[in-house]
Amino acid sequence: MKYRQLGSSELQVSEISLGSWLTYGLGVEVERARACLDTAFDVGINFIDTANVYGRGAAESFLGDALCDRPRDSYVLATKLYFPMTDADRGLSRGQIEKQLEASLKRLKTDYVDLYQCHRYDDDTPLDETMEALSKAVRSGKVRYIGFSEWPADRIAAATRLPGVEPFVSSQPQYSLLWRKPEADVIPVCEANSISQIVWSPLGQGVLTGKYLPDGGLPGDSRAASDAMGGFMDRLIQPRVLEAVQQLKPLALEAGLSLAQFSLAWVLDHPNVASAIVGASRPEQVEENASASGAAVDPALFRQAERLIETALAEQK
């Protein structure tokens, strides 16, 4: 496992990190989830990402139980806030940041989180109020660094111009061969401000593993076939896209990688990406994904892959 510096922070995070959206505390049974977490540590993953809203606290509670016997300095723990936890609790106001941070720390059974992230931008709260509250959390010692997920580029830039606040060190966008939108404006503004990307859905919700066939049914144990986990995938499992994904397999083979590893290596090829967050419901998925770290791939293979996917997405519209 290789490690990269996270933005302007002192954190060194594994190139592959373990996420818990739609999985731990929700879609995957506890013992299998623990096995995935144990395997992650065995293969050198040190970065664990979650959020208060995942299973309405269930993912954080699972991690609190599963991590409590490990030395706190042996892993980097990240969580998020913004989405509703109750009918009255949502957003990035000063009061919500204080309340949700305390609740997350209690569920995670820790005194601090290494990275506290704004899960989305809050149009209903002044930016300076959000940034001042986050800065207070850092200065209290309950948070080491702050980040955001899926913020518009102009709001990122605005946050960097505020005086007297703690700097963002990370951005968490959706980014993969199937979704390259952050390249247009989010990544450039982040690069200019020493903010790293820790990307979610680098495998397109599993589509870039190649297991979904254009003319086949959904594998019974797959995320797309799960009532709890598959509702976000309709855009990705269209026949033309799935055909193009199958055409990537010879490129991955030429690189000596599985398609999943090839797709993760593509994400990690971007210099602004510090880590790719993977979800896993089985330990062997963790092992395979972790092996993408440090993979050396001919850039020409990546360019071929980009052309195949770009053509398929254009034809699908």
CB 68 within 8 A of CB 105: no
- The residue written with tokens 């390249």 in the block is 183
Polymer length in residues for the chain: 317
CB 180 within 8 A of CB 266: no
Q: CA-to-CA distance for 61 and 208, rounded, in angstroms? A: 30
- Catalytic-labelled residue, pool 3, 24, 54, 121: 54
Residues with Cβ < 8 Å from 276, sequence gap 6 or more?
A: 15, 16, 17, 198, 199, 202, 264, 267, 268, 292
CA distances from 262 to 10, 52, 177 (A): 29, 31, 10
Is 3 annotated as catalytic? no
* Residues with catalytic roles: 54
